[in-house]
C-alpha cells in the first residue's frame, strides 16, 4: 500500500472517528478571515508609508531616507506575503503548510513561494543592519567605521548573496510528501482537515537543519546589529565630541533613539508569538495561526511607528488630513500667569495636535466605549460561563478583571489625567473633577487601582501555587491567606499614599514646573491643572518599589509552580490532570503577559527619554493611553485564550448564524472544558 493510500486510510478510519470536533478558532476559516480583515489596513498603511517617506522626508533625514525606505518596503512585502500572496496555514511544530494565497492560485511552485517568504525575513534582518550601520557611519568620533560607498556595497552584497543561499540546503531536498505527512500525524494526530488536501505540502523534513540555520542567522544578525547599536549609543551618550555642536549631537541622539524605538517596538510582535509557541507543550492550531497573524501585524505596527515617531512624517500626516479641518485651539486659561502673557505666548511654538490635550481627550473618548463594553462583558462571561472545572480560579480571575476594568474607568471616565511628566502637574477633565470632587482625593483613589491590580496578579498565581500538591511549602489555610492578602493590600495602599500627604501651593509649584517644561500645552495654565505632589521623585520611588516587590513575589509563585508542573512528577494526580494544570497555568500566564508587554513598552520609552533629558508631551499622553488600552487587551485575551469563554462568546454571537461547513469546520457547542483540577 502506497503512502498516499495510507494517508487516505488514516483519514477515513482514524481521523473522522477519533478526532474531536474542530472549533472555529482552530480552523482555516478563522485564519483566512483574520488575514482578510487585516489586509486593507496593512495595504493602506504600507502604501502610505512609502508615500510619506518619499514626499515627507526632510533634509536633515536625507542620509537615512533610502535605508528607511528599504526597511519599510521589506516589512510591507512580508505583510502582503502573509495576508495575501501566500496566507500560509502552518501546522506547527512541523513544516507542513496549506497556502491560501494568490501565488499558488496563479500556478507558482510551492517551494519557490515559501523560499521567497523565507528570504524576505533575511532581507528584514539585513535592512535593520543597514539602518544601524548607517547611523554608526555618521558619528564622526567612532574611529573604525565604513565611510566609502564601495566598501558598503561589498559588505551589503556579500550579505545579500550569502545568507539567502543557506535555506537552499533544505529547500532543495526531495522527499515523498505523503510519507512525510504520515510522520507528522504521529506528532499532530488530529490536525486541521486541510492537512489532508494535496495543496498542503511539506517544506522540509530536515527540521533540525532548518532550525539550526535559522538560529545561526538570527544570532549573527542580532550580534552585529547590537554591535553597531551599542557602539553608536555609547559614542552619542558618553563620548563628547569637538567636531559637532551640542544641538547637533542632541539631534543625533534623539534621531538614533527614535529609530531604535521604531525597530524595537514591532519586533515585540515577532517575539510574542514565538515565545507563546515555544512555551506550548502540545500542538495547537490556534497558536500556530496566531503566530502567523502576529508576524503579519509586525508590518502594520512598523508603519504606525514610522508615521507617529518621526516628527516630519507625523506633521506631514497631520497637515494632509485632520490638520486641514481642525485648528488646534489656544484658549486662554482663566488662571493664566504673567509667564503666559510675557513669555509663553511670544516665545513658544504652536502646540502640534499629537502633543495637545485635544488629541489625548479624543483618544480617550474613542477608547472608552470599547473598554466599557469589553469590561462589562468580561464580568458577565466570568460569572456566567465559568465551568465547574475552573471554579477554584473563578473569583481570582474575576478580581483581576475587575481591577483592570477599574484602571480603565479611572483613566477614561473618572479622571482623564492629562499629565505633564516628569512633574506632578495634571490637568484632569474627568467625571469626578466635573462634579467638584477633590483633586487630590480623586487622584489618590485612582492611584490605588494599580496596587490593587498588582495584588490581583499575586493572588491568582498564589492560588495556582496552592493547588499543586507536590510543592512542599504552600498556603492552604483560608485564615493564612486572608492575613497574607490583607497585609499586602494595606501596606501597598499606605506606601503609595505617602508622597501625596502634603499641602501644595499650586501657583508657586507651577512656576517651578515651567523651569523644567518651559513650553507646556496651554491647558497647563488652566485653574484645573494642579500639582499632585512636589516630591514627584518620591512618588516614582514608592511606585517603582511596589512594582519590584510584586514582580519578585509573584515571580516566586510563578516559577515554583511552573517548575513543579513541568519538571517534578506528581504521583498523586494522573498525567492527564497534570497536563490540564500545565495548560491552564500557561493560558493564565499568556493572558497576563500580553497586556503587560503593552504596558512595558511605553514605560520603557518614557524612562529612557527622561533619562536622556528629552521631555515629550506626546509620550506622556501615550503612557496614559497605553494604561487604558491595557484593559481592552486584557479583556480580549481573557475571552480568546480561555476556551469556555471563547466558546460562550462564539455561541451567543456569530455561532448562531454561521452555517455548518462540511469541508473543514463544525460549529462549536459550548461545553465546560476540564482545564484545572479543584
- Please report where in the chains the cell 495602599 appears, as a residue: 493
CA pair distance 619, 602, nearest whole angstrom: 8
Q: Which of 285, 314, 343 is the last residue of a domain?
A: 314
Looking at the structure, do residues 373 and 272 belong to the same domain, yes or no?
A: no
What pLDDT is stored for residue 242 in this prediction? 53
pLDDT at residue 590 is higher than 70: yes
Q: Which of 314, 344, 374 is the last residue of a domain?
A: 314
pLDDT of residue 522: 80
E strand or H helix that includes residue 482: helix 478-497
Is 26 part of a structural domain of the chain? no
DSSP H helices in 139-243: 149-162, 168-171, 177-187, 207-237
Among all chains, which residue has been given the C-alpha cell 563620548?
239
Helix (H) or strand (E) holding 198: none
Instruction: Give 662's pLDDT tier (boundaries 50, 70, 90).
Output: very low
Write b or e for each residue in 519-537: b if 16 or more Cβ atoms lie within 10 A of its Cβ, otherwise e.
Answer: bbbbbbbbebbbbbbbebe
Q: Which ranges in 310-436 belong to alpha helices (H)? A: 311-319, 338-339, 345-347, 357-385, 391-409, 431-434
Whether the link from the prior residue into 422 is cis, omega within 30° of 0, is yes
Say what the pLDDT of residue 502 is.
67
All three cell numbers of 198? 494535496
| Average pLDDT along the chain | 78
The C-alpha angle 39, 45, 49, rounded to 5 degrees, equals: 140
C-alpha–C-alpha distance, residues 298 and 42, integer Å: 10
Question: Could you tell me how far CA 95 lies from the centroid of its own chain?
Answer: 26
- Is 320 domain-assigned? no
Q: Is the pLDDT of residue 336 over 50?
A: no
Task: Answer for the pair 83, 77: CB distance below 8 angstroms, yes or no.
Answer: no
Q: How far apart are CA 33 and CA 294, in angstroms?
A: 14
Same domain, yes or no, for 363 and 308?
A: no
CATH number of the CATH domain containing 452: 1.20.1070.10
- Within 10 angstroms of residue 673's Cβ, the number of other Cβ atoms is 16
pTM score > 0.75 for this model?
Answer: no
What tens digit of pLDDT does each residue of 243-289 get? 556 666 677 777 778 777 777 776 776 776 666 666 555 567 888 88
Q: Residue 329: what pLDDT?
A: 41
CA nearest to 308, candidates 255, 258, 362, 254: 258
Q: Report yes or no on 676 lying in a domain.
A: no
Within this chain, do residues 511 and 452 fall inside the same structural domain, yes or no? yes
For residues 595 and 499, state if they share a domain: yes
Check whether residue 248 and residue 379 sit in a common domain.
Answer: no
Q: How far is CA 2 from CA 6, 177, 199, 204, 354, in A?
A: 6, 12, 19, 20, 65
Task: Calculate mean pLDDT across residues 294-316.
Answer: 82
- Which of these three, 252, 280, 314, is where a domain ends? 314
Q: Tell me the three cell numbers of residue 348.
A: 513658544
Same structural domain for residues 301 and 414? no
Say if residue 428 is in the same domain as residue 501: yes
d(CA 586, CA 603): 25
| CA angle (440 as vertex; 439, 445 as ends), nearest 5 | 100
Of 173-177, 339-343, 545-549, 552-556, where does mean pLDDT reach its minimum? 339-343
- 304 and 396 both lie in a single domain: no
> Within a 13 Å sphere around the CA of 271, how many CA atoms are in the beta-carbon half?
10
205 falls within a domain:
yes
Residue 69 vs residue 279, higher pLDDT = 69
Whether the CB-CB separation of 516 and 423 falls below 8 Å is answered with yes
pLDDT above 60 for 306: yes
On whether both 310 and 459 belong to a single domain, the answer is no
Distances (CA, A) of 246 to 138, 243, 424, 435, 613: 16, 10, 29, 48, 13
- Residue 11 belongs to some domain of the structure: yes
Domain that holds residue 555: 358-648
Q: Is residue 499 part of a domain?
A: yes
Residue % of the chain over a pLDDT of 90: 0
Q: How confident is the model at residue 570 (pLDDT cuts 50, 70, 90)?
A: low
More confident residue, 536 or 189: 189
- Tell me: the pLDDT tens digits for 463-487? 878 877 777 777 877 777 888 888 8
Is 326 among the domain residues? no
Percent of the chain with pLDDT over 70: 83
Model confidence pLDDT, tens digit, residues 431-445: 877 777 777 778 888
Question: Over the stretch 400-433, which tens digit does the pLDDT of each residue have?
Answer: 888 888 888 888 888 888 888 778 888 888 887 7
Name the residue among 131, 122, 200, 202 with its Cα closest to residue 165. 122
**pLDDT tens by residue, 185-239:** 888 888 888 888 888 888 888 888 888 888 898 889 889 888 888 888 788 777 5
Give the CATH number for residue 126: 1.20.1070
Mark whether 457 and 577 lie in a shared domain.
yes
* Structure confidence at residue 664 (pLDDT): 45
Sorting pLDDT into bands at 50, 70 and 90, what band is 602? Answer: low
Note the pLDDT of residue 611.
65
Q: Which helix (H) or strand (E) holds 543?
A: helix 536-566
The arithmetic mean of pLDDT across residues 641-649, rounded, is 82
Residue among 389, 425, 668 at smallest CA distance from 539? 425
> Domain check: are 550 and 444 in the same one?
yes
Q: How far apart are the first and last CA of the chain?
A: 48
Confidence of residue 338 (pLDDT cuts 50, 70, 90): low
- Dist. CA 164–CA 600, nearest whole Å: 35
In this model, does residue 595 exceed pLDDT 70? no
Assess if residue 563 is contained within a domain.
Answer: yes
Distant-in-sequence, close-in-space partners of 247: CB < 8 Å, separation ≥ 6 = none
Instruction: Please enumerate in sequence order all residues whose Cβ is within 8 A of that of 305, keeping only pairs 6 or more positions apart, or say none.
Output: 261, 262, 265, 266
Instruction: Report the alpha-carbon distance of residue 608 to residue 514 in Å, rounded.
Output: 21
The kind and range of the H/E element at 569 are none
Contact status, residue 314 vs residue 258, Cβ threshold 8 Å: no
Overall number of domains in the chain: 2
Residue 304 confidence (pLDDT) = 85
pLDDT at site 21:
81
The count of other CB atoms within 10 Å of the CB of residue 51 is 12
Q: State whether 268 and 373 are in the same domain.
A: no
600 closest CA partner among 551, 658, 664, 668: 551
Residue 104 corresponds to which cell in the numbers above?
499558488
Q: What's the pLDDT band for 663 if we cut at 50, 70, 90?
A: very low
Amino acid at each position: 500500500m502506497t503512502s498516499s493510500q495510507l494517508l487516505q486510510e488514516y483519514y477515513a478510519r482514524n481521523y473522522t472517528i477519533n478526532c474531536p470536533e474542530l472549533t472555529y478558532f482552530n480552523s482555516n476559516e478563522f485564519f483566512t478571515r483574520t488575514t482578510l480583515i487585516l489586509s486593507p489596513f496593512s495595504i493602506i498603511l504600507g502604501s502610505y508609508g512609502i508615500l510619506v517617506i518619499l514626499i515627507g522626508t526632510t533634509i536633515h533625514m536625507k542620509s537615512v531616507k533610502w535605508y528607511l525606505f528599504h526597511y519599510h518596503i521589506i516589512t510591507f512585502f512580508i505583510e502582503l506575503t502573509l495576508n495575501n500572496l501566500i496566507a500560509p496555514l502552518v501546522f506547527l511544530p512541523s513544516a507542513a503548510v496549506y497556502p491560501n494565497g494568490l501565488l499558488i492560485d496563479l500556478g507558482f511552485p510551492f517551494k519557490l513561494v515559501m523560499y521567497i517568504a523565507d528570504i524576505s525575513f533575511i532581507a528584514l534582518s539585513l535592512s535593520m543592519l543597514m539602518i544601524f550601520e548607517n547611523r554608526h557611519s555618521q558619528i564622526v568620533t567612532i574611529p573604525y567605521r565604513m565611510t566609502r560607498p564601495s566598501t558598503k556595497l561589498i559588505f551589503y552584497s556579500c550579505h545579500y548573496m550569502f545568507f539567502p543561499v543557506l535555506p537552499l540546503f533544505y529547500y532543495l531536498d526531495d522527499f515523498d510528501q505523503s510519507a512525510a505527512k504520515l510522520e507528522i500525524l504521529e506528532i499532530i494526530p488530529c490536525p486541521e482537515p486541510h492537512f489532508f488536501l494535496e495543496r498542503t505540502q511539506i517544506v522540509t523534513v530536515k527540521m533540525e537543519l532548518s532550525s539550526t540555520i535559522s538560529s545561526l542567522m538570527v544570532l549573527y544578525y542580532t550580534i552585529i546589529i547590537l554591535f553597531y547599536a551599542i557602539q553608536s549609543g555609547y559614542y552619542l551618550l558618553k563620548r563628547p565630541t569637538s567636531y559637532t555642536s551640542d544641538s547637533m549631537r542632541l539631534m543625533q541622539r534623539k534621531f538614533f533613539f527614535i529609530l531604535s524605538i521604531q525597530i524595537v517596538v514591532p519586533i515585540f510582535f515577532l517575539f510574542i508569538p514565538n515565545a507563546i509557541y515555544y512555551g506550548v507543550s502540545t500542538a495547537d492550531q490556534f497558536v500556530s495561526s496566531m503566530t502567523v497573524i502576529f508576524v503579519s501585524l509586525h508590518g502594520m505596527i512598523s508603519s504606525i511607528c514610522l508615521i507617529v515617531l518621526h516628527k516630519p512624517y507625523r506633521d506631514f500626516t497631520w497637515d494632509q488630513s485632520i490638520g486641514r479641518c481642525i485648528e488646534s485651539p489656544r484658549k486662554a486659561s482663566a488662571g493664566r500667569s504673567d509667564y503666559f502673557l510675557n513669555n509663553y505666548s511670544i516665545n513658544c511654538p504652536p502646540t502640534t495636535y499629537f502633543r495637545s490635550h485635544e488629541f489625548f481627550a479624543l483618544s480617550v473618548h474613542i477608547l472608552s466605549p470599547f473598554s466599557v463594553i469589553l469590561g462589562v462583558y468580561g464580568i458577565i462571561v466570568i460569572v456566567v460561563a465559568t465551568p465547574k472545572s475552573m471554579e477554584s480560579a473563578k473569583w481570582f480571575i474575576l478580581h483581576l478583571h475587575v481591577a483592570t476594568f477599574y484602571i480603565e474607568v479611572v483613566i477614561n471616565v473618572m479622571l482623564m489625567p492629562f499629565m505633564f511628566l516628569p512633574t506632578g502637574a495634571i490637568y484632569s477633565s474627568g467625571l469626578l473633577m466635573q462634579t467638584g470632587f477633590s483633586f487630590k482625593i480623586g487622584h489618590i483613589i485612582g492611584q490605588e487601582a494599580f496596587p490593587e491590580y498588582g495584588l490581583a496578579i499575586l493572588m491568582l498565581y498564589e492560588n495556582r501555587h496552592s493547588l499543586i500538591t507536590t510543592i512542599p511549602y504552600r498556603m492552604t489555610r483560608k485564615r493564612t491567606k486572608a492575613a497574607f492578602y490583607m497585609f499586602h493590600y494595606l501596606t501597598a495602599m499606605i506606601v503609595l499614599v505617602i508622597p501625596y500627604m502634603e499641602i501644595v501651593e499650586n501657583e508657586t509649584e507651577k512656576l517651578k514646573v515651567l523651569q523644567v517644561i518651559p513650553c507646556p500645552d496651554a491647558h497647563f495654565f488652566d485653574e484645573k491643572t494642579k500639582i499632585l505632589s512636589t516630591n514627584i521623585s518620591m512618588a516614582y520611588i514608592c511606585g517603582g518599589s511596589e512594582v519590584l516587590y510584586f514582580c519578585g513575589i509573584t515571580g516566586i509563585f510563578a516559577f515554583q509552580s511552573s517548575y513543579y508542573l513541568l519538571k517534578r512528577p506528581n504521583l498523586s494526580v494522573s498525567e492527564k490532570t497534570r497536563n490540564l494544570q500545565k495548560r491552564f497555568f500557561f493560558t493564565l500566564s499568556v493572558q497576563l503577559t500580553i497586556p503587560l508587554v503593552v504596558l512595558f513598552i511605553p514605560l520603557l520609552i518614557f524612562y529612557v527619554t527622561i533619562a536622556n533629558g528629552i521631555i515629550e508631551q506626546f509620550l506622556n499622553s501615550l503612557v496614559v493611553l497605553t494604561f487604558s488600552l491595557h484593559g481592552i487587551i486584557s479583556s480580549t485575551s481573557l475571552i480568546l485564550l480561555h476556551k469556555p469563554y471563547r466558546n460562550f462568546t462564539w455561541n451567543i454571537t456569530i455561532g448562531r448564524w454561521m452555517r455548518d461547513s462540511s469541508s473543514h469546520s463544525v460549529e462549536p457547542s459550548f461545553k465546560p472544558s476540564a482545564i484545572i483540577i479543584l
